[in-house]
């Protein structure tokens, strides 16, 4: 299959999980370049700063050819036009994700009819996984081995359990 174009995989990535990494690897097989775009939303409380999230993403995607890490603080479709990207990548874990993602895809289509949304499912092992669940497990002193890369687990522990 011939790869085509630039895709953007937007998200908060607070923190990046193995499910996110799986979707990135799937996307890079389909597109020439995948921009992993960290959402900078001042109204949303995040554990890690935008810079920290970008640093973690760069660390875990190092060696993946065609992956670029960036951030944005505006309407996604405007950011995509600036980056000359035509595809939005969204991960679908479970049926519960579908309604919200479908609504967002249709809204983006209305705002920018030339931009398409592509849904990718992570490996079955990650379909239950979310950044929120990962943070909660760490807060309760549980192991997130296999949920996030080791260096991300260490950062989570330092951030959540070291006071």
- Write out the catalytic residue numbers: 20, 44, 93, 131
Instruction: Find tokens 């035509």 and name the residue.
Output: 86
What the block records as the tokens of 96 is 């519960």
Burial of 149 (0-12, 13-18, 19+ CB in 10 A): middle
In angstroms, the CA 81 to CA 78 distance is: 5
Angle at 123 between CA 120 and CA 128, to 5 degrees: 95
Residue 128 contacts residue 18 (beta carbons within 8 Å): no
Can you give the length of the chain in residues?
163
What the block records as the tokens of 124 is 């079955």
Report the 10 Å Cβ neighbour count for 114: 9
* Number of H-type helices and E-type strands within the chain: 6, 5
């Amino acid at each position: 299959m011939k790869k085509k174009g630039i895709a953007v995989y937007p998200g908060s990535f607070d923190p990046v999980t193995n499910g996110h990494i799986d979707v990135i690897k799937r996307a890079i097989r389909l597109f020439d370049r995948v921009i992993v775009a960290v959402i900078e939303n001042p109204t949303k409380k995040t554990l890690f700063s935008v810079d920290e999230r970008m640093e973690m993403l760069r660390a875990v995607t190092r060696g993946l050819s065609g992956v670029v890490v960036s951030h944005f603080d505006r309407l996604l479709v405007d950011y995509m036009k600036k980056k000359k990207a035509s595809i939005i990548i969204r991960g679908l874990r479970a049926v519960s994700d579908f309604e919200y993602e479908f609504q967002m895809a249709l809204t983006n289509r209305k705002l920018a009819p030339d931009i398409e949304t592509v849904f990718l499912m992570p490996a079955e092992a990650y379909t239950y996984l979310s950044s929120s669940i990962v943070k909660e497990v760490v807060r309760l002193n549980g192991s997130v081995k296999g949920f996030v890369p080791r260096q991300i687990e260490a950062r989570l522990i330092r951030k959540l359990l070291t006071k």
